[in-house]
A = this chain, B = another copy of it.
Amino acid sequence: MNVPATVSDYLNRRAQEVNAWLDALVPSETAPPEQLHRAMRYSLMAGGKRLRPALVLAAGEALGASTDDLMPTACAIEMIHTYSLIHDDLPAMDNDDLRRGRPTCHKVFGEAMAILAGDALLTQAFRVLSAEAPSGNAAIQLRVIREVATASGTADALIGGQVADIENEGHTVDAQTLEYIHRSKTGALITASVVVGGILAGASERKVDALRSYGERIGLAFQIADDLLDVTSTSEELGKTPGKDQAANKATYPAIHGISASQDKAAQLVEEAVQIVSDLGVDSGVLSDIARFIVARRS
């Protein structure tokens, strides 16, 4: 499967916009504490795909929100994603040396500063989320914060997924446990990205529910694709150490279900997701393209 040029172009364009906003929304490297701000920016501005912000923008704009109203929330979610990567990479956790093609935060700035840079990105995310709501609708903004905090929390959420991942390392896990890990560790924040786009657009509960269903499907598809890339990619394509999951005896989709069944499952989830957003009665082209991109990407 090839990624159509248009969605790649779209994501690159959105990533550039997001980067400009991120640059404005985190403290400068010249403001004290300089070394901490440097560590935060080192990891945040390392050139990720900005998939989560793109989903906030694509979902929100499809439902009628303005880019300016969506951007702070989009950037806050990227800060949370980056904090989770910094902490996951720590020696006490996954002990990873390479991330997004560069040495990990703690390899460059030391463990103490990496822990604090992660803490600071998480905190800054909520500071950005609680800044004056551009729409002036504080109730909507409060709901967005609640949605993001829940997706970043413990049960069926970001931190819970990382705990389950660590606890099951070196064990044989069943399909159900693996799906819990994927749904929590990656799926929850991806789903929240789509959902908050809808909430910020003032979408109906029915439409927010549909966005949640779409988000859950592409979230799981994303993680299956990630597992597949770990098996099939080179370090250069991936920007991080490939084969690492296997070496660590980590639970992955292809390890349990095989490569072919994993590819089929991811494709099926994407088609379901595309169907769901095409029933929304809005221009869902970008959301469909992003869903397809998620399984077709090479890194």
A residues adjacent to B (C-beta < 8 A):
27, 31-33, 35-37, 40, 83, 87, 90, 92-93, 110-113, 115-116, 118-120, 122-124, 126-127, 129-131, 133, 138-139, 141-143, 145-146, 149-150, 152-155, 158-160, 162-164, 166-167
A-B contact pairs, 27 of them (CB 8 A): A27-B154, A32-B160, A33-B154, A33-B155, A33-B159, A36-B159, A36-B160, A40-B154, A87-B115, A87-B116, A90-B115, A92-B110, A92-B111, A112-B166, A113-B163, A115-B115, A116-B163, A118-B119, A123-B159, A126-B145, A126-B149, A127-B149, A130-B143, A130-B145, A133-B142, A141-B142, A145-B145
Closest 4 A-B residue pairs measured CB to CB?
A92-B111, A127-B149, A138-B138, A130-B145
CB pair B153–A127 under 8 Å, yes or no, is yes
Residues A112 and B92 in contact in the complex (CB < 8 Å), given A36-B154, A153-B124, A163-B35? yes
Which of the residues B27, B139, B166 comes within 8 Å of A138, measured between beta carbons? B139
Q: A92-B110, A130-B142, A130-B146 are in contact. List 17 more A-B contacts (CB 8 A).
A: A27-B155, A32-B164, A36-B154, A40-B154, A87-B116, A90-B112, A92-B111, A93-B115, A113-B163, A118-B119, A122-B123, A124-B153, A127-B153, A129-B145, A141-B142, A142-B142, A145-B145
Closest CB in chain B relative to A58 CB, distance in Å: 24
- How many identical chains are in the complex? 2
A166: chain B residues within 8 A (beta carbon): 112
